[in-house]
Amino acid sequence: DIQLTQSPSFLSASEGDRVTITCRASQGISSYLAWYQQKPRKAPRLLIYGASTLQSGVPSRFSGSGSGTEFTLTISSLQPEDFATYYCQHLNTYPPTFGQGTRLEIK
Amino acid sequence: QLQLQESGPGLVKSSETLSLTCTVSGGSMSHSQYYWGWIRQPPGKGLEWIGSIYYAGRTYYNPSLKSRVTISVDTSKNQFSLRLTSVTAADTAIYYCAKSDSAYIYDNWGQGTLVTVSS
Protein backbone atom coordinates (compact mmCIF):
# COMPACT_ATOMS: atom_id res chain seq x y z
CA ASP A 1 0.00 0.00 0.00
CA ILE A 2 1.05 3.57 -0.61
CA GLN A 3 1.83 5.39 2.64
CA LEU A 4 1.01 9.07 3.08
CA THR A 5 2.84 11.10 5.72
CA GLN A 6 1.51 14.50 6.67
CA SER A 7 3.51 17.23 8.35
CA PRO A 8 3.12 18.74 10.74
CA SER A 9 0.77 16.53 12.73
CA PHE A 10 -0.25 19.52 14.81
CA LEU A 11 -0.26 23.18 13.88
CA SER A 12 -1.12 26.19 15.97
CA ALA A 13 -1.93 29.38 14.08
CA SER A 14 -3.86 32.62 14.33
CA GLU A 15 -6.77 33.98 12.35
CA GLY A 16 -5.42 35.65 9.23
CA ASP A 17 -2.28 33.52 9.07
CA ARG A 18 -1.17 31.70 5.94
CA VAL A 19 -0.60 28.03 6.65
CA THR A 20 0.75 25.13 4.64
CA ILE A 21 0.33 21.42 5.27
CA THR A 22 2.51 18.88 3.48
CA CYS A 23 1.63 15.37 2.40
CA ARG A 24 4.37 13.03 1.19
CA ALA A 25 3.67 9.76 -0.61
CA SER A 26 5.84 6.66 -0.31
CA GLN A 27 5.85 6.39 -4.09
CA GLY A 28 4.83 8.56 -6.99
CA ILE A 29 1.11 9.11 -7.38
CA SER A 30 1.08 11.70 -10.17
CA SER A 31 -1.68 14.15 -9.20
CA TYR A 32 -4.00 11.57 -7.70
CA LEU A 33 -4.43 13.25 -4.35
CA ALA A 34 -7.35 14.73 -2.46
CA TRP A 35 -7.63 16.85 0.67
CA TYR A 36 -10.41 16.70 3.24
CA GLN A 37 -11.35 18.87 6.20
CA GLN A 38 -12.94 17.32 9.28
CA LYS A 39 -14.43 19.19 12.19
CA PRO A 40 -15.14 17.51 15.53
CA ARG A 41 -18.07 15.09 15.42
CA LYS A 42 -18.58 15.75 11.71
CA ALA A 43 -17.92 13.78 8.56
CA PRO A 44 -14.97 14.76 6.40
CA ARG A 45 -15.57 17.35 3.70
CA LEU A 46 -13.85 17.17 0.32
CA LEU A 47 -11.80 20.31 -0.34
CA ILE A 48 -9.49 19.51 -3.24
CA TYR A 49 -9.00 16.66 -5.69
CA GLY A 50 -6.55 16.05 -8.48
CA ALA A 51 -4.00 17.73 -6.19
CA SER A 52 -5.15 21.24 -7.11
CA THR A 53 -8.79 21.29 -8.24
CA LEU A 54 -11.06 23.05 -5.78
CA GLN A 55 -14.29 21.21 -5.02
CA SER A 56 -17.42 23.23 -5.76
CA GLY A 57 -18.38 25.50 -2.88
CA VAL A 58 -14.95 25.50 -1.22
CA PRO A 59 -13.58 28.99 -0.54
CA SER A 60 -10.76 30.18 -2.78
CA ARG A 61 -8.45 30.72 0.20
CA PHE A 62 -7.83 26.97 0.01
CA SER A 63 -5.38 25.80 -2.62
CA GLY A 64 -3.46 22.65 -3.37
CA SER A 65 -0.32 21.92 -5.31
CA GLY A 66 2.20 19.21 -6.02
CA SER A 67 2.66 16.05 -7.99
CA GLY A 68 4.61 12.84 -7.71
CA THR A 69 5.42 12.38 -4.04
CA GLU A 70 5.07 15.81 -2.45
CA PHE A 71 1.89 17.83 -2.08
CA THR A 72 0.78 20.87 -0.16
CA LEU A 73 -2.49 22.32 1.06
CA THR A 74 -2.36 26.05 1.68
CA ILE A 75 -4.89 28.24 3.43
CA SER A 76 -4.08 31.80 2.47
CA SER A 77 -5.78 33.60 5.35
CA LEU A 78 -7.15 31.52 8.19
CA GLN A 79 -10.75 32.06 9.14
CA PRO A 80 -12.32 30.88 12.42
CA GLU A 81 -14.18 28.10 10.62
CA ASP A 82 -10.93 26.65 9.24
CA PHE A 83 -9.71 25.29 12.54
CA ALA A 84 -10.13 21.56 12.01
CA THR A 85 -8.23 18.42 11.11
CA TYR A 86 -7.04 17.98 7.54
CA TYR A 87 -6.39 14.68 5.75
CA CYS A 88 -4.80 13.88 2.44
CA GLN A 89 -5.87 10.80 0.49
CA HIS A 90 -4.27 9.20 -2.52
CA LEU A 91 -6.40 8.04 -5.40
CA ASN A 92 -3.70 6.42 -7.46
CA THR A 93 -4.04 2.75 -6.73
CA TYR A 94 -6.13 0.34 -4.82
CA PRO A 95 -6.53 0.59 -1.89
CA PRO A 96 -6.77 4.33 -1.39
CA THR A 97 -5.18 5.40 1.88
CA PHE A 98 -5.29 8.52 4.01
CA GLY A 99 -2.59 10.47 5.75
CA GLN A 100 -2.60 10.47 9.53
CA GLY A 101 -4.10 13.95 9.70
CA THR A 102 -2.97 17.46 10.63
CA ARG A 103 -4.78 19.13 13.46
CA LEU A 104 -4.98 22.90 13.04
CA GLU A 105 -5.74 24.78 16.22
CA ILE A 106 -6.13 28.38 17.25
CA LYS A 107 -3.03 29.95 18.78
CA GLN B 1 -28.80 17.13 -3.48
CA LEU B 2 -28.09 13.59 -2.38
CA GLN B 3 -28.16 12.82 1.31
CA LEU B 4 -26.75 9.70 2.94
CA GLN B 5 -27.71 8.28 6.32
CA GLU B 6 -26.17 5.31 8.10
CA SER B 7 -28.23 3.02 10.30
CA GLY B 8 -27.60 -0.10 12.32
CA PRO B 9 -26.73 -1.40 15.77
CA GLY B 10 -24.41 0.74 17.84
CA LEU B 11 -23.17 -2.22 19.83
CA VAL B 12 -21.92 -5.54 18.46
CA LYS B 13 -20.46 -8.42 20.42
CA SER B 14 -16.98 -9.64 19.72
CA SER B 15 -16.81 -12.42 17.09
CA GLU B 16 -20.22 -11.49 15.70
CA THR B 17 -21.15 -9.67 12.49
CA LEU B 18 -21.46 -5.92 12.11
CA SER B 19 -24.20 -4.88 9.69
CA LEU B 20 -24.88 -1.33 8.60
CA THR B 21 -27.13 0.20 5.96
CA CYS B 22 -26.77 3.50 4.17
CA THR B 23 -29.98 5.03 2.86
CA VAL B 24 -29.62 7.47 -0.02
CA SER B 25 -32.23 10.18 -0.48
CA GLY B 26 -32.60 12.99 -2.98
CA GLY B 27 -31.91 10.83 -6.00
CA SER B 28 -32.16 7.35 -7.41
CA MET B 29 -29.20 5.02 -7.00
CA SER B 30 -30.28 2.99 -10.01
CA HIS B 31 -29.93 5.99 -12.31
CA SER B 32 -26.63 7.22 -10.92
CA GLN B 33 -23.28 5.94 -12.12
CA TYR B 34 -21.63 6.45 -8.78
CA TYR B 35 -19.44 4.45 -6.47
CA TRP B 36 -20.84 3.95 -2.98
CA GLY B 37 -18.28 3.48 -0.25
CA TRP B 38 -17.66 2.81 3.41
CA ILE B 39 -14.92 4.49 5.42
CA ARG B 40 -14.30 4.11 9.13
CA GLN B 41 -12.55 6.07 11.85
CA PRO B 42 -11.60 4.64 15.25
CA PRO B 43 -12.32 7.15 18.00
CA GLY B 44 -9.65 9.86 18.00
CA LYS B 45 -7.80 8.32 15.06
CA GLY B 46 -7.52 8.61 11.30
CA LEU B 47 -9.59 7.41 8.35
CA GLU B 48 -9.54 3.93 6.84
CA TRP B 49 -11.17 3.03 3.53
CA ILE B 50 -13.16 -0.19 3.87
CA GLY B 51 -14.45 -0.65 0.33
CA SER B 52 -16.89 0.44 -2.29
CA ILE B 53 -19.46 -0.81 -4.76
CA TYR B 54 -20.14 0.50 -8.23
CA TYR B 55 -23.78 1.12 -9.06
CA ALA B 56 -23.69 -1.86 -11.40
CA GLY B 57 -22.57 -4.12 -8.56
CA ARG B 58 -18.78 -4.48 -8.87
CA THR B 59 -17.10 -4.37 -5.47
CA TYR B 60 -13.69 -3.21 -4.27
CA TYR B 61 -12.40 -4.03 -0.81
CA ASN B 62 -9.44 -3.03 1.30
CA PRO B 63 -7.11 -6.06 1.24
CA SER B 64 -6.65 -5.75 5.00
CA LEU B 65 -10.37 -6.42 5.51
CA LYS B 66 -11.28 -8.30 2.36
CA SER B 67 -11.78 -11.69 3.99
CA ARG B 68 -14.38 -10.24 6.37
CA VAL B 69 -16.17 -7.58 4.32
CA THR B 70 -19.19 -7.66 2.04
CA ILE B 71 -20.74 -4.57 0.48
CA SER B 72 -24.01 -4.90 -1.37
CA VAL B 73 -26.54 -2.59 -2.96
CA ASP B 74 -30.32 -2.66 -3.15
CA THR B 75 -31.32 -0.05 -5.69
CA SER B 76 -35.03 -0.77 -5.19
CA LYS B 77 -34.67 0.53 -1.63
CA ASN B 78 -32.04 3.14 -2.50
CA GLN B 79 -29.71 1.54 0.02
CA PHE B 80 -26.31 -0.06 0.20
CA SER B 81 -24.99 -2.15 3.04
CA LEU B 82 -21.86 -3.23 4.86
CA ARG B 83 -21.27 -6.55 6.56
CA LEU B 84 -18.12 -7.14 8.58
CA THR B 85 -17.74 -10.56 10.14
CA SER B 86 -15.80 -11.80 13.15
CA VAL B 87 -15.44 -8.37 14.69
CA THR B 88 -13.02 -7.52 17.47
CA ALA B 89 -12.42 -4.44 19.59
CA ALA B 90 -10.18 -3.14 16.78
CA ASP B 91 -13.31 -2.72 14.65
CA THR B 92 -14.77 -0.17 17.06
CA ALA B 93 -15.11 2.97 15.01
CA ILE B 94 -17.34 5.60 13.48
CA TYR B 95 -18.52 4.14 10.19
CA TYR B 96 -19.26 6.54 7.34
CA CYS B 97 -21.00 5.84 4.10
CA ALA B 98 -20.09 8.07 1.19
CA LYS B 99 -20.59 8.64 -2.50
CA SER B 100 -17.95 9.02 -5.16
CA ASP B 101 -18.14 10.11 -8.78
CA SER B 102 -14.85 8.49 -9.61
CA ALA B 103 -13.93 5.53 -7.46
CA TYR B 104 -12.19 7.10 -4.53
CA ILE B 105 -12.99 10.84 -4.34
CA TYR B 106 -15.75 11.04 -1.77
CA ASP B 107 -17.72 14.24 -2.19
CA ASN B 108 -20.82 13.39 -0.19
CA TRP B 109 -20.80 11.70 3.23
CA GLY B 110 -23.27 10.46 5.76
CA GLN B 111 -23.03 11.83 9.29
CA GLY B 112 -21.41 8.62 10.55
CA THR B 113 -22.49 6.07 13.11
CA LEU B 114 -20.45 4.82 16.05
CA VAL B 115 -20.21 1.06 16.36
CA THR B 116 -18.69 -0.33 19.53
CA VAL B 117 -17.53 -3.93 19.74
CA SER B 118 -17.97 -5.35 23.21
CA SER B 119 -16.46 -8.44 24.70
- Is the peptide bond prior to B43 cis by the omega test (within 30 degrees of 0)? no
Strand-by-strand arrangement of the A4-7 sheet? A4-7, A19-25, A70-75, A62-67
- Model confidence at A1: pLDDT above 90: no
Of B76, B119, B78, B96, nearest to B20 by C-alpha is: B96
What confidence score (pLDDT) does residue A27 get?
95
Q: Which pLDDT tens digit goes with each residue over B88-119?
A: 999 999 999 999 987 789 999 999 999 999 98
Q: Which residue of B has its CA nearest to A102?
A: B46
Closest approach of A107 to chain B, Cα-based (Å): 21
Query: Which residues from chain B sit within 8 angstroms of residue A89, using beta carbons?
Result: 47, 104
Q: Best mutation site among B58, B66, B99, B106 for testing chain A: the one with the most A CBs within 10 Å?
A: B106
From B52, which residue of chain A is nearest by alpha-carbon distance? Answer: A95
Query: Within an 8 Å CB–CB cutoff, is residue B80 touching chain A?
Result: no
Q: Which pLDDT score, from 0 to 100, does residue A94 have? A: 85
Q: What is the pLDDT of residue A101?
A: 98
pLDDT of residue B55: 76
A22 band by pLDDT with thresholds 50, 70 and 90: very high
Nearest to B46 among A46, A96, A101 (CB): A101
A89 and A97 in contact (C-beta within 8 Å)?
A: yes
Q: How is chain A classified by DSSP, letter by letter?
A: ---EEEE-SEEEE-TT--EEEEEEESS--TT-EEEEEE-TTS--EEEEETTTEEPTT--TTEEEEEETTEEEEEESS--GGG-SEEEEEE-SSSSP-B---EEEEE-
H or E element: which one contains B14? none
pLDDT of residue B104: 85
| Nearest CA distance, B28 vs chain A (angstrom) | 22
Residue B40's Cβ-count burial label (10 Å; 0-12, 13-18, 19+) is buried
pLDDT band for position B67 (50/70/90)? very high
Interface test with B, best of A4, A49, A103 (most B CBs within 10 A): A49
Q: Compute the average pLDDT of residues A6-27.
A: 97
At B21, the amino acid letter reads T
Beta strands in B11-88 (DSSP E): 11-13, 18-25, 35-41, 48-54, 59-61, 69-74, 79-84
Q: Which pLDDT tens digit goes with each residue over B29-47?
A: 877 789 999 999 999 999 9
The whole-chain average pLDDT of chain A stands at 96
Residue A32 confidence (pLDDT): 95
